[in-house]
Structures are given as structure tokens and as C-alpha cells.
Amino acid sequence: MLKKESEQKKIAYFCMEYGLESDFKIYSGGLGILAGDHLKACRDLNIPLVAIGIKWKQGYVEQRLDEMGNVYDCYRDIDASKLEDTGITVEVTIRENQVPIKVWKTEAFQNAPLFLLDTDVSGSPYHGITKQLYGGNDEERVAQEIVLGSGGVKALKALEIEVETYHFNEGHAALAGLELISEKMKDGLSFHEAWEQTRKQIVFTTHTPVEAGNEIHPISRLRYMSANIGLTIEQLAEIGGIPFNMTVAGLRLSRKANSVAELHLDTTKKMWRHVTGKAPLINITNGVHGQTWMDQRYLDENLNSSQCWEIHQENKKILIETIFERTGTKLKSDKLLIGFARRMTPYKRSNLIFSQPENVDTLLQEGKIQLVFSGKSHPMDSKGKAMLSSLHEMQKKYPESVVLLQNYDMNLGAQLTRGCDVWLNNPQRPKEACGTSGMKAAMNGVLNLSILDGWWPEACRHGYNGWAIGDETVPQTEEKQNLKDAKALYEALLNEVVPTYYDDHSKWVEMMMKSIESVKEAFSASRMVQEYWNKLYAPNKGRGLA
């Protein structure tokens, strides 16, 4: 059994973003939603964890499209009235200046609290650092990472929270490791002695296998921003390389690191095989918080097929009404509804289903298939915005069967993963670390139609609880992969998904129930954090989670 909370040192979980509730927009997408689910599951299981993040003044971008399909970014201040002022302020050094950081606490998670760091301090000229999540230029990003990393370590000390293990969720938190090394060196240890002791304190989760998601900085920038915290060029290079790679630093600063899906573990090992001195890599597949994302009526042990279908149809009608309110398009509840909602970026291939229009044109014109899309692109991702614009064009071409829901957030995500009939996922491979939206859909009886990437190879039983798009072989060029996967998508959609939906209702509902049963526990956040506790947080200490 776990000890009483007061008797335990804590796990300190560092992340740049958290998705706790839809309107508290200190999250951008999957990483933040995962962090929020992680925190909620630790609360549920009474795991002794505290979380460190940033109190973003405006959070992540809101995106709107005009009638011509142009994408506009806008920001608004977040309502932070529910936060508790701890009364604590710490300082970090940025560009050789002392920057004050105020520490706030969320009220919602008393036994797994989230502390948020804020440079919007009265009288301080540095209020803009924590203004926008992933906003600003490269120097501003480093400043934000100093606040999260160095500021987070100092905040925990000021709060008198004893930390046993620091968990860095993605490389943004790597500067916390430099802070810990620097502290030990001030106490008289050599650099390598301090590093070795620090490694015993840190675990690291790596996510994206996409190059752009693994942040790098010239060492000159880190030194100019005072992010080196007194370490020399040579010492920084030993930790993160030249240029300084935040993921490499995380791998070298930790005692153990993990991937977020079994296939992702293979990808991660290949991706970083050249990195010497890295932590041993294991896998802990992501999970999602069932109480947040799953219709709890599906947990009824006596649920039968007619009840399962009725619940789904209720959720589908709610989604259809939301679509009508937002777009003026009235979709039909008796027609197949396919959902695609995730970050808009080229490798996700949101428009793959339109790549050979002759295969879907008649179905869309007749309304036999209906498509709903949603997602945001990064403000600086012009190609991602172009994808949004292209979907806007498809909405105009098929006004009664294609819709684009603007300004994707947690509320929309919950409705979509409950109300669609099919969840479509077709990224280029192997670029999907996990893909937790598919888990949310599956535990609500929404059948996945997905590329065998991320988590889906672990769950998919083709024709039993969903469908695979193609096989696991990956052509060497993007062009060949696009052609191969488009062909496989159409084959599965036209020959299996559509006929089953319209011609074999009993099989469809049976697949829905198998989907729920196979995912609700195996891909839950509860299972996930228990694995973190037993495999990453408390290894070799003889203390499992009861």
C-alpha cells in the first residue's frame, strides 16, 4: 500500500501545457491533454505527485476561417479566477537579469496539485514571457523553458515540497536538469559527480518522432539567455550536443526514459541510436482518463446491443446539433458519420480521403458518407493552415456532407469522440507517437479506421473492434506511401466499413461493444499511471502500487 501523503516524497511532473478543462486553455493539443489525464489519474489513485506548468496569460491560439478560407489567429486572456495565490515568488536569471515568478495553484486537484508559474508580476518588465503558449520567437521559447525548468525547481523548494523523482514530460523541461546540476556544483561537487547524482533523480518521456517536435538551440543562444545556469560550452555539449537538443538532453539527464506506444519505442530507439550515454528506454503506452472522455453508461455490466446503439445515437444527435449550431449544416443521424479531429499539420494527412475524389464523390454527393473535420495548426505552420483552407473548400464543394468545425478544443473533442460512427486516422508513418483521440473514440464505441501507427497496432483486431488501413510495411518515399495508403483507405472504407454500416447492423453494434470492451481498461490513464509508478517512478525499490 502507498504511505500516507504526508509521509511521502513527491513525484514532480513537469510539462509545458495541461488540458484540465476546455475553457482553461493552457493546452494546445495532445501533449497537454495527456498531461491533464495523467494528473487526473494520479489524483484518482492517490499517487503522490505534484505538477509544474506555466500560467499562460492568453494560452494557445484561437483560429477562425473567413468565407474565403483564410485562417486568422487570435488570442484572448484566460479566466484564471479559480487559481489560488500561494503567496510565493521565486526568481530565475534570463539574459543576466533577475526575473520574478509568481506561483499559483489549481484548486481542483488537492491531492495531486498543479502549480503554475507566472512572470506577469506587478512592476516587472518581463510579464510577456508567459503570455502565449508556444508563441514568440526562439529566444522567447528559451525564456519560457527557463521559467518552467529552473523556475519549477526553485518553486518546489520554496513550497517546501520534497521531491524524490522529477518527471520531464517532453524536452521542454530539460533545463530543470541543468538547474539541479548547478545546485549540486555550488555545494562542492564536480560537474560529472553532480550530473551522475542528478540522473538518479530524473525520468523522461519522449513523444514526437517528428524532427520539428524535438527542439534544438545553438549553445550561443542558451548562454546569451542565461539558460546554461553557469555550465560551460563543453559541459552543455556533453549533455545536449551541438547544437543543444532538448530531447537528447532529456535522454542523457535521466535514469530511465520511456516511449508512449510499443511501435513508438522501436521508432525512438532507431531515431536516437547515435546518442551515447542515454538512459535505458522502455515503453509505457499512453492512456486516457475514462471519467473525462467516456460516456459512463457504457460501463454498465448488463449493457446490451440495443442499449449500446441507443446511447450512441443520443451522442450522435448531440454532435449533429452542435454542428448545425456552428455551421448551419444539418447532417443526418441515419447516415455514416466519419470524424477526423487532430492537429492540422501535413504529416497527419487530413485530406488523404479526398486524394482520389472519384472514389468518394458519389458517396458524398448522395450523403451516404458524412465527414466532420476539426483541428488547429500552429500559428507559424503555413502548410497546416493551408490544410484547413483546403478542408474549407471541401465543405463548400459538399455543403450537405462535409463540415469543418473551427477552433478545436476539449469540448469539441469529447463530442466528436462520442458522436461519430467512425474515427479516421491516417498519418504518414512512423510519425504518430501514440494518437490518444482514437482511444477516446474506441471506448465510446466509435470504430477506428486507422493506419497501423501509434497505439492502434496494440489494439486493432481488423473487422472485430475496428479496421486497419493497409499493413505495417512502409514505402520509402512519401509519394509512394501516400498512394499505397490512399488505396488501402478506399478499400477498407468502400468494401468493409460502408457495407457493414448499412447492410449488417448487428455486426456493427457487436464491433462497437468489442471496441469498448477491448479499450476501456487496457488504454485507460489509470493503467498508464500505475505503469509509470511501477516501471519508472519507483523501480527497484520494492514498492509497487497497491
Domains of the chain plus CATH, in order, are: 5-288+526-537 (3.40.50.2000), 295-523 (3.40.50.2000)
pLDDT of residue 111: 75
pLDDT of residue 136: 87
Residue stretches of the chain with pLDDT short of 50: 1-6, 540, 542-546
The grid cell for 456 is 492502434
Pairing of strands 244-245, 216-217: antiparallel
Per DSSP (E only), the strands in 55-176 are 62-65, 71-74, 84-94, 97-105, 114-118, 163-169
pLDDT of residue 7: 53
pLDDT of residue 108: 67
Count of C-beta atoms within a 10 Å radius of residue 64: 11
pLDDT of residue 8: 73
Per DSSP (E only), the strands in 323-482 are 336-341, 369-374, 402-405, 422-425, 447-451, 466-469
Count of C-beta atoms within a 10 Å radius of residue 110: 10
pTM beyond 0.85: the answer is yes
pLDDT of residue 314: 98
The grid cell for 214 is 524535438
Per-residue pLDDT tens for 291-323? 999 999 999 999 999 999 999 999 999 999 999
CA dist., res. 55 & res. 123, Å (int)? 18
**CA 236 and chain centroid, separation:** 28
**CA 59 and chain centroid, separation:** 15
H or E stretch at 249: helix 246-253
pLDDT of residue 4: 44
